[in-house]
Structure 1
Amino acid sequence: MLGLNKKVTAVVMMFWITLINLSCLNAETELFINPVDCLNSITKVGGCGDAIGGIHHWDFSHLKRACCEALEGLSEGCWPIIFPGQPLVHMMIKGICFFP
């Protein structure tokens, strides 16, 4: 019985190591995101910059449809650049914009 537990543990450990390695490889592709590229799609939309500034203070009232569409086009790596230290803002904006 003890030998079986060691085998199961080894298989589970290899599974987790593989998942961690795959996630690191996936994250590595977005390590070199240019912050200017992240901001360009937002600054092209009138009033979106002000809405983003309001979101930094948890004011979502100025978020309009055009700004929501610009935010929808952001890559996953841009969200921590635009909203540093606010990991839940991404999900809140998606909830406000895309599920009215």
Structure 2
Amino acid sequence: MVVMLSTSQNTKGNNDGVLAPVSDKGMLPNPVTCVSDARKIPDCVEAVKHFRFKSVTKECCIVLLGIPEDCFGILFPMRFVYRAMLKITCKIIGIGG
């Protein structure tokens, strides 16, 4: 089953080809590495989590849109909703995503 899941991940499960940094065991994303990039921009993650998209800056967009989908899921509970709202916000302020 693990082989099937990894094959699925490598072939169609992650369209952008960017995989999250993995833990020492190699199975799950490493949350410390995932969060460290996002925490470089003060209040970025908190603004998105609380739907304060007026507070989202260009730097915040660049960092958050650049992290892998697996990491995004660690930072935000409903990653698809947050990712969609962030992409819309970033497009409005001039960052494609």
Where do 5+ consecutive residues of structure 1 fail to align? 1-20
Pick closer, same or farther for the CA change 1:92–1:23 going to 2, 3 Å. Answer: farther
**TM-score normalised by length of structure 2:** 0.63
- Give 4+ residue runs of structure 1 displaced > 4 Å after superposition: 21-24
Q: In 2, distance between residues paired with 1:22 and 1:35?
A: 20
Secondary structure in structure 2 of the residue aligned to 1:87: helix
Secondary structure in structure 2 of the residue aligned to 1:44: coil
More helix by share: 1
Pick closer, same or farther for the CA change 1:73–1:86 going to 2, 3 Å. Answer: closer
Rg larger in structure? 1
Q: In 2, distance between residues paired with 1:74 and 1:88?
A: 16
Q: How far apart are 1:82 and its partner, in Å? A: 0.4
**TM-score normalised by length of structure 1:** 0.61
Aligned pairs for 1:30-41 within 5 A:
31-41=27-37
Report what 1:73 is aligned to.
66
Where do 5+ consecutive residues of structure 2 fail to align? 14-18, 21-26, 93-97
Q: How high is the sequence identity, in percent, across the aligned residues?
A: 29
Q: How far apart are 1:96 and its partner, in Å? A: 1.1
Aligned pairs for 1:1-100 within 5 A:
25-26=8-9, 31-45=27-41, 47=42, 50-97=43-90, 99-100=91-92
Paired AA for residue 36 in structure 2: N
